[in-house]
Amino acid sequence: MQQIVAICGTHPPGAETLYLDIANIVAKKKEKGGECMLYLDGFQKVTSLLESGAVSIYKVALYELLSLIGLDRSDYDQAAQLMKAREIMFERYPNLKWIAVTDGPNTAYLFHNISLTGSCEKSIWKYNVKQLQKEKHMEVQRKATAKR
């Protein structure tokens, strides 16, 4: 059975090695043949964790991603910056399988590192967040109407 370990946010003060310790546990489980993925949703002080090679899925806000790789958000063509950021991240962190990029109510993206699998029909997915929110709102309304 596939297991996913989630690390969210910045480690608490005084626990600087906590996230790397968790990453090491996940790595040992994989070495023993276990199916385990590490999901990271954080921005501050995550470089060493990403460099460890243990992170499979990284969720990050667009402005955090651009800051992490040293790109300036103030003057960017979003599509070009996203593709550049994707390229840099998969180059720096070759064991990273997925990157999910959010931008508030704007379009969200999911990038797949196809170099790990050799081939994939699609390596980029776009999600219209406003459309998803609208569909969720409509579903809630349908359920409320059905209860009457």
Q: What is the CATH number of the domain that holds 44?
A: 3.40.1190.20
**Residues 60, 86, 62: CA angle, nearest 5 degrees:** 35
Report the domain count for the chain: 1
pLDDT, residue 123, reads 85
The separation between CA 32 and the C-alpha centre of its own chain, rounded to angstroms, equals 25
Residue with tokens 């196809």: 114
CA distance 145 to 55: 43
Cβ atoms of 96 and 115 closer than 8 Å: no
pLDDT, residue 117, reads 63
pLDDT, residue 127, reads 87
pLDDT, residue 39, reads 96
Task: Show pLDDT as tens, one digit a residue, over the chain (148 residues).
Answer: 788 999 999 888 888 899 999 999 998 988 888 888 999 999 988 999 999 999 999 999 998 999 899 887 766 677 788 888 999 999 999 999 999 999 888 889 999 998 766 655 568 888 887 776 777 767 777 777 777 6
Q: Say whether pTM exceeds 0.75.
A: yes
The radius of gyration of the chain's CA atoms, rounded to the nearest angstrom, is 18
Cβ atoms of 98 and 110 closer than 8 Å: yes
Residue 80 domain boundaries: 3-147
